[in-house]
């Protein structure tokens, strides 16, 4: 830090402080991404991040909702929550300094990306920000951010021995992967649901492909205004009721508010290694076109899945099956 100007040292300190302040829980992260997008509408990835983060909140709250506590032991539910939380925290910890540094660069109309190494971000994404400053290719930057963030969580979360054994190799995870419960949903105030799912969540390439498919749905010229209206109008509480309240068929609240059931988790402030130094960057990640193999309109699918979960619960009660461990 010695060779930096006082102004540069101040910027770094402020960015670290702001990132830590916003990286408290799923609610604060979701809101931070959305308010950032409202100030920097060219960084469309930040709106994608806020909508995916909403899904993270619903996944967490579902674990304490009306169904899953009957199917999963408290230990399994805690482990799943910590997995979602760790991945969410890591991504925010990595990306928010990048976003703030770009915002600062636009304010002074001068690129400040030479400060990115002080936030331990990959050399891959450092190059992409410099490229974006010159070329303003929004689509490329969005894809690059998707690639970067999925790589950031690959080793510390997906390949972590504890998460691997207790979560990704567990029966319930295989089961939800198979049932496509690993789905990201984008609701509208008109009660419609769009989205895409992934089976094979542990596959880095499949998650990157999912991110690209989600971006193409979210920023579809016809659909984007509806998703944006939902995000602007609907306070994020983490409960699935945030979007079920708009359904034509009225449902009661089946999942709690996130801050009512989960404490703030303290994470280890560890230094991330640069993933791009030891992992080959597949050209498919950046250049393969997006292909939707399934319908993106998921309103009917959503109700079918909800019914399947209720059926599973009824079976479990009738047959007196043990909870998933």
**Which residues on adjacent β-strands are paired with residue 183?**
197
Please say whether the beta carbons of 275 and 152 come within 8 A.
Answer: yes
Rounded CA-CA distance 79/199 in Å is: 20
CA atoms within 13 A on the CB side of 82: 18
At 173 the pLDDT is: 65
Q: Computed over its alpha carbons, how large is the radius of gyration of the chain?
A: 20
At 314 the pLDDT is: 79
Residues in the chain predicted with pLDDT less than 50, given as ranges, are 178-179
At 312 the pLDDT is: 74
At 138 the pLDDT is: 97
Distance of CA 24 to the CA centre of its chain: 15
At 166 the pLDDT is: 74
At 272 the pLDDT is: 72
Rounded CA-CA distance 9/325 in Å is: 49
């Amino acid at each position: 830090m010695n060779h930096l100007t006082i102004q540069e040292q101040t910027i770094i300190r402020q960015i670290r402080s702001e990132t830590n302040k916003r990286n408290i829980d799923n609610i604060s992260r979701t809101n931070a991404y959305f308010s950032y997008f409202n100030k920097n509408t060219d960084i469309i990835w930040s709106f994608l991040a806020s909508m995916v983060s909403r899904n993270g909140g619903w996944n967490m709250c579902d674990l304490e909702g009306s169904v899953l506590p009957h199917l999963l032991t408290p230990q399994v539910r805690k482990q799943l929550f910590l997995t979602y939380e760790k991945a969410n925290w890591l991504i925010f910890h990595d990306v928010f300094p990048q976003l703030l540094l770009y915002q600062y660069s636009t304010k002074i109309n001068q690129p400040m990306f030479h400060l990115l190494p002080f936030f331990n971000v990959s050399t891959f994404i450092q190059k992409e920000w410099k490229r974006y400053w010159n070329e303003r290719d929004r689509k490329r930057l969005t894809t690059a951010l998707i690639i970067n963030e999925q790589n950031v969580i690959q080793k510390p979360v997906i390949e972590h021995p504890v998460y691997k054994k207790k979560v990704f190799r567990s029966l319930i995870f295989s089961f939800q992967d198979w049932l496509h419960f690993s789905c990201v949903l984008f609701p509208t105030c008109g009660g419609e649901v769009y989205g895409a799912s992934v089976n094979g969540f542990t596959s880095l390439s499949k998650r990157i492909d999912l991110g690209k498919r989600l971006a193409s749905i979210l920023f579809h010229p016809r659909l984007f205004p509806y998703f944006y209206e939902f995000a602007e109008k609907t306070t994020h509480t983490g409960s699935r009721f945030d979007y079920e309240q708009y359904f034509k068929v009225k449902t009661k609240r089946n999942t709690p508010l996130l801050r009512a059931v989960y404490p703030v988790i303290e994470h280890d402030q560890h230094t991330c290694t640069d993933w791009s130094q030891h992992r080959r960057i597949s050209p498919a990640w950046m250049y393969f076109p997006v292909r939707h193999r399934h319908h993106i309109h998921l309103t009917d699918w959503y109700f079918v899945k909800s019914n399947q979960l209720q059926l599973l619960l009824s079976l479990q009660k009738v047959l007196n099956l043990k909870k998933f461990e």
